């Protein structure tokens, strides 16, 4: 019989500090040309991805490590960290991965446009040709 892992008083003790390596914002679903272009604009920037989560929320994630995160993944300003960091619950943590809450990732314009072409064909057909062509890109 396998031994149960001991429960740590600090659930962040062995975490790779994922919560301190990105920012994310929930955005409107891409149901108009403007919203499609808005998400494309984000995807075209480095270290940015868009994802649709299992709750149906569209989110833009900006991958950028907090400047106060030390090499050992500990906070250099822990005692005076911002309130958003203080109130962040370890229970809401991804535990090192987005995989459990993400339904679909979009890291390139092509991935995003192929999704729209397949999942929202009527809306995709209304987009101008220069945007529809992105579906054939890598």
Give the structural domain span for 54.
18-88+102-108
- Residue 48 forms part of a structural domain: yes
Q: What was the pLDDT predicted at 1?
A: 58
Helix/strand/coil (H, E, C) string of the chain?
Answer: CCCCCCCCCCCCCCCCCHHHCEEEEEECCCCCHHHHHHHHHHHCCCCEEEEEECCCCEEEEEECCCCCECCCCCECCHHHCCHHHHHCCHHHCCCCCCCCCEEEEECCHHHHHHHHHHHCHHHHHHCCHHHHHHHHCC
Q: What was the pLDDT predicted at 90?
A: 72
Q: What was the pLDDT predicted at 9?
A: 62
Digits of tens for pLDDT over the chain (138 positions)?
Answer: 556 555 556 667 778 888 899 899 999 999 999 999 999 999 999 899 999 999 999 999 999 999 999 999 999 999 999 999 999 877 666 665 656 788 999 999 999 999 999 999 999 999 999 999 999 987
- Residue 137 forms part of a structural domain: no
- Residue 25 forms part of a structural domain: yes
- Residue 128 forms part of a structural domain: no
pTM score > 0.75 for this model?
yes
- Residue 126 forms part of a structural domain: no
Q: What was the pLDDT predicted at 96?
A: 57
Q: How many structural domains comprise the chain?
A: 1
- Residue 134 forms part of a structural domain: no
Q: What was the pLDDT predicted at 32?
A: 93
- Residue 49 forms part of a structural domain: yes
């Amino acid at each position: 019989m396998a031994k149960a892992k001991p429960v740590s008083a600090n659930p962040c003790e062995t975490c790779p500090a994922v919560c301190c390596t990105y920012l994310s914002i929930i955005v409107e679903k891409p149901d108009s040309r403007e919203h499609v272009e808005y998400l494309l604009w984000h995807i075209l920037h480095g270290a940015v991805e868009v994802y649709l989560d299992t709750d149906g929320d569209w989110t833009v994630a900006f991958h950028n490590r907090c400047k106060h995160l030390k090499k050992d993944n500990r906070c250099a300003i822990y005692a005076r960290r911002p309130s958003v960091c203080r109130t962040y619950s370890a229970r809401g943590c991804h535990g090192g991965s987005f995989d459990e809450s993400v339904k679909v990732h979009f890291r390139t314009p092509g991935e995003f446009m192929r999704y729209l072409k397949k999942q929202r064909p009527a809306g995709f057909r209304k987009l101008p040709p220069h945007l529809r062509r992105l579906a054939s890109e890598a």
